[in-house]
């Protein structure tokens, strides 16, 4: 199998490059710039992959509120160009979306399934949902994967780290931490996500899927678990979303049901707490001499 991985320098893209078997072409913005359609057609036409995995995105949630044009250029219009090119090449397109396509419902306590109506409350969420809609009619052989709160040992290159690394860095600096306690989701380890997607691709059961680690927590609970696992004492205070005052609104509850994926009898993803422990262990191994 011949793969191309766009966004190969990011934490999810790097994980795919390590885990795919076959010929893998890692692609960065230097090769394909989603704001320049001609680079999409030229590079994919030269490579002719059988599967393109798109891990590239404008994922600056708060910046998107004032930078809507670049967010939509990458997350929506650029994805449409990928879909058209993949269809022309008879190539399967794997694309990642987000739990932020769902809305602002403080009473929600049941995980979202794929058929639930979306209703994004941020520019970022709207741009990602637009990408889903612009992809589907142009490329029948597609997997659209909604996921949440990604973290991996490589970190998130564009954003300068992930939530786990940010928490550990701030704790090391001795700063008091205030973390929202009324937003619930399922943070997801990129190693687990990549393994699951590789299995899913092999089924050729195209369509929209939710894929995260299992169970749910608030961001405050996730932060508390990070420090407990690392035996770090820190001044950690739970706060409501209103006190955080971020430019972009976030869903109060955006837990995703993975039932559709599980109905294919593929390997289930472990719980977020177990995945976090595995991540912290991998992180320690990498930091060790010779790691």
- pTM of the predicted protein model: 0.95
User: CA 105, CA 107: separation in Å to the nearest integer?
Assistant: 5
What is the residue-level pLDDT of the chain in tens, covering all 291 positions?
999 999 999 999 999 999 999 899 999 999 999 999 999 999 999 999 999 999 999 999 999 999 999 999 999 999 999 999 999 999 999 999 999 999 888 889 999 999 999 999 999 999 999 999 999 999 999 999 999 999 998 755 555 579 999 999 999 999 899 999 999 999 999 999 999 999 999 999 999 999 999 999 999 999 999 999 999 999 999 999 999 889 999 999 999 999 999 999 999 999 999 999 999 999 888 776 765
Q: Domain total for the chain?
A: 1
CATH number of the domain encompassing residue 259: 3.40.50.720
Q: Give the model's pLDDT for residue 100.
A: 97
For residue 122, what are the CA distances in angstroms to 18, 142, 216, 247?
Answer: 33, 25, 22, 9
Q: Give the model's pLDDT for residue 160.
A: 55
User: CA 186, CA 254: separation in Å to the nearest integer?
Assistant: 8
Q: Give the model's pLDDT for residue 159.
A: 55
- DSSP assignment of 212-252 equals --BS-EEHHHHHHHHHHHHT----EEEE-HHHH--SS---S
Catalytic residue among 3, 100, 112, 124: 124
User: CA 161, CA 91: separation in Å to the nearest integer?
Assistant: 32
Angle at 288 between CA 285 and CA 291, to 5 degrees: 65
Which residue range forms the structural domain that includes residue 178? Answer: 2-287
- Helix/strand/coil for 176: coil
The answer to whether residue 138 is catalytic is no
């Amino acid at each position: 199998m011949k793969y191309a991985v766009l966004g190969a320098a990011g934490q999810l893209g790097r994980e795919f490059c390590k885990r795919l078997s076959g010929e893998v072409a890692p692609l960065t913005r230097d090769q394909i710039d989603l704001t320049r359609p001609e680079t999409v057609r030229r590079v994919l036409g030269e490579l002719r992959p059988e599967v393109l995995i798109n891990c590239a995105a404008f994922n600056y949630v708060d910046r998107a509120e004032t930078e809507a044009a670049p967010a939509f250029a990458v997350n929506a219009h650029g994805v449409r160009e990928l879909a058209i090119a993949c269809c022309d090449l008879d190539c399967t397109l794997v694309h990642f979306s987000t739990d932020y396509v769902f809305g602002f419902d403080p009473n929600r306590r049941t995980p979202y399934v794929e058929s639930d109506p979306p209703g994004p409350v941020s520019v970022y969420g709207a741009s990602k949902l637009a990408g889903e809609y612009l992809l589907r009619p142009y490329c029948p052989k597609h997997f659209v994967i909604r996921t949440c709160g990604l973290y991996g040992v490589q970190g998130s290159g564009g954003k300068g780290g992930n939530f786990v690394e940010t928490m550990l860095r701030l704790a090391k600096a001795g700063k008091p931490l205030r973390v929202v306690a009324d937003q619930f989701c399922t943070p997801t380890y990129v190693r687990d996500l990549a393994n699951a997607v590789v299995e899913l691709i092999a089924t050729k059961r195209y369509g929209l899927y939710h894929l995260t680690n299992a169970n749910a927590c608030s961001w405050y609970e996730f932060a508390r678990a990070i420090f407990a696992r690392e035996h770090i004492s820190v001044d950690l205070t739970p706060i409501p979303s209103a006190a955080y005052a971020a430019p972009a609104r976030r869903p109060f509850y955006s837990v995703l049901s993975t039932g559709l994926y599980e109905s294919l009898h593929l390997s289930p993803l472990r719980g977020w707490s177990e995945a976090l422990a595995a991540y912290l262990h991998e992180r320690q191994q990498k930091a060790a001499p010779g790691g």
